[in-house]
Amino acid sequence: MKGIRQLADHLDISIGTVSRALNGKADVNPQTRQRVLEAAEKLGYVANQSGRSLRKGSTGVIGFMMQTGPEITGQGDSFFMSVFDGVQTVLARHDLDLVALLCSSSEDPDAYLQRTVARGFADAIILSATRRNDARFELLDRHKIPFISLGRSLTDVGQPWIDLDFEGMAEIAMERLVLAGHKDIGVIWPHGDLNLGHLFVERCRSVLGTHGIRLREENIFRGKPSEAGGYAVAKEIAARPSRPSAIALVNETLVTGLYKGLEEAGITPGKDIAIVGRHSPHTQFLSPTLTGFNLSLHDLGIALAETLLSEMPAYRQAYEGLRRRVWPMMLIEGASG
């Protein structure tokens, strides 16, 4: 089935009527509509995307931009897949489709996004892996395309965002460790210019300050957001003449490697060093069990979708959610700290 023309000819009806029937417009005889729908179903006709969006000026596609490569900045892909599933439960109600806009590791994210939105590929966009200063915000703002971000940035154009509560994690982690008597506390700052690292470390610093404890510069460990990154940090810690008695981190991909590196150095989490980290499907089986933060990825996805829709004129009235919010994290107590 090539196009609406064939379908119309086949039914001996004009294409206008066919289109109206398929799109649920009022001006069409119920009986005719029925015939059209059945024929479309039988012949497998679906309106061509290009023709449709050219005429309508919108595509019905929501893009979620993410970067590909072996090191997913900040998250693993089961993270995103779960979030996507949540997003889709909401979008499906409006016949909107979610696609992942994949920016290769060898392409500049700003240029990629520029290209993609200028082409008019998606009606709205969700950004992730937000950097400290992120030109993408201004770009989307200039193009007046509805968007939100999973993550904050210093660059602020007034768009809504949802972000994990990195400051909250910092506070709870630091308070907990201080309460347990730790005075020499280290933190892991994921490599790169992701905003979350700044948020977490700065809050750790200030919370410790209120307890009269200084976060020493050499206790801020830089680690690539990967298992190997965690391993490297562990080795670095182990090599120190005097090491911190506790470590806090917010990137779940680091945890496994960190555990392993420490273990190899004879350092046992929870005994020789306290660890407060992030949970993920992979961390639930660590030993000693991890004390760390968790969240519902599915619910996060739902919230993202609702917030995005509230930015889109066509759907705004149905969704008047919070425009900006920090996503609550649950602390799961384990043996590690």
Partner DNA sequence: ATAGTTTCCGTAAACGTTTACGGTCGTTGC
Partner DNA sequence: GCAACGACCGTAAACGTTTACGGAAACTAT
Q: Enumerate binding residues for DNA (CB under 7 A).
A: 2-5, 13-17, 19-20, 22-23, 25, 27-30, 32, 45, 47-48, 50-52, 54-57
**Minimal distance in Å, beta carbon 30 to a second copy?**
24
Nearer to a second copy, 115 or 240 (CB): 115
Nearer to DNA, 35 or 198 (CB): 35
- DSSP tag of 272: T
Instruction: List, in sequence order, the alpha helices (H) in 144-296.
Output: 166-179, 195-210, 227-239, 252-264
**Minimal distance in Å, beta carbon 171 to a second copy?**
28
Within 13 Å, how many C-alpha atoms sit on residue 175's CB side? 7
b/e map 71-102, b = 16+ CB within 10 Å? bbbbbbeebbebbbebbbebbeeeebbbebbe
**Minimal distance in Å, beta carbon 83 to a second copy?**
8
- The secondary structure of 65-121 as a DSSP string is EEE-SSS-SS--HHHHHHHHHHHHHHHGGGT-EEEEEEE-TTS-HHHHHHHHHHTT-
Nearest CA to 282 out of 317, 254, 249, 320 is that of: 254
**Minimal distance in Å, beta carbon 99 to a second copy?**
5
Among a second copy, DNA, none, partner that 154 touches (CB below 5 to 8 angstroms by kind): none
CA 307 – CA 50 distance, rounded (Å)? 27
**Minimal distance in Å, beta carbon 31 to DNA?**
7
Count CB atoms within 10 A of the CB of residue 230: 28
Q: Which residues are at the interface with a second copy (CB under 8 A)?
A: 1, 44-54, 59, 66, 68-72, 76-82, 84-85, 88-89, 92, 97-102, 104-107, 114-116, 118-121, 226-228, 231, 253, 256-257, 259-261, 263, 281-282, 284-287, 297-298
Token pair of 310, please? 């509230």
Nearer to a second copy, 251 or 256 (CB): 256
Among DNA, a second copy, none, partner that 180 touches (CB below 5 to 8 angstroms by kind): none
Among DNA, a second copy, none, partner that 210 touches (CB below 5 to 8 angstroms by kind): none
**Minimal distance in Å, beta carbon 115 to DNA?**
13
* Distant-in-sequence, close-in-space partners of 92: CB < 8 Å, separation ≥ 6: none
80, 102 Cβ separation under 8 angstroms: no
Nearer to a second copy, 160 or 301 (CB): 301
Nearer to a second copy, 88 or 155 (CB): 88
Among DNA, a second copy, none, partner that 188 touches (CB below 5 to 8 angstroms by kind): none
Nearer to a second copy, 132 or 260 (CB): 260
Nearer to a second copy, 212 or 285 (CB): 285
Among a second copy, DNA, none, partner that 16 touches (CB below 5 to 8 angstroms by kind): DNA
**Minimal distance in Å, beta carbon 28 to DNA?**
4
Measured over all CA atoms, what is the biggest interatomic distance in the chain, rounded to whole angstroms?
A: 86
CA 325 to chain centre: 14
